[in-house]
Amino acid sequence: MPDWLSRIIGSDNKLYCLEKSVIDRENKTLVMLSRNLSYETLLSVDEICRYQAEGSNTVFTQEAKITVPIWGLSSKAENHAITNFQANAHKGTAVMENICDHISKEQEEQILGALQTQKME
């Protein structure tokens, strides 16, 4: 939320969201559904992020529905929110890539450790 808007509505600029993650091992998908809880009477954002394994690659799709139910402001505010959403969308992808890299490195270390233990025996 922009600082100027926080000052107008008397907010501490903390935003709360609800997220639900669904892992489907059979279809090799991770779906993350999120919705803002803060200020939803001013701005509602419903987001779906989907990670789908395809061979040795992962396909990422992201969609969001942004609604501003304030007459007279909705079009301008929705466009502003969409612009910000698009500008920041890459951050979520970078976080997930970082997590996957970390998990991959941990697995490699565990495998190497197990192999070294076997050699010693």
For the chain, give every domain's residue range: 3-120
- Which pLDDT value is given to residue 23? 93
Average pLDDT along the chain: 82
**17-24 sheet: strands from edge to edge:** 17-24, 29-36, 44-54, 57-67
**36-77 residue pLDDT tens:** 998 788 788 899 999 999 988 888 888 888 888 777 767 777
Q: So what's the pLDDT on residue 1? A: 59
Place of tokens 């709360």: 16
Q: Confidence band (pLDDT; 50, 70, 90) for 32?
A: very high
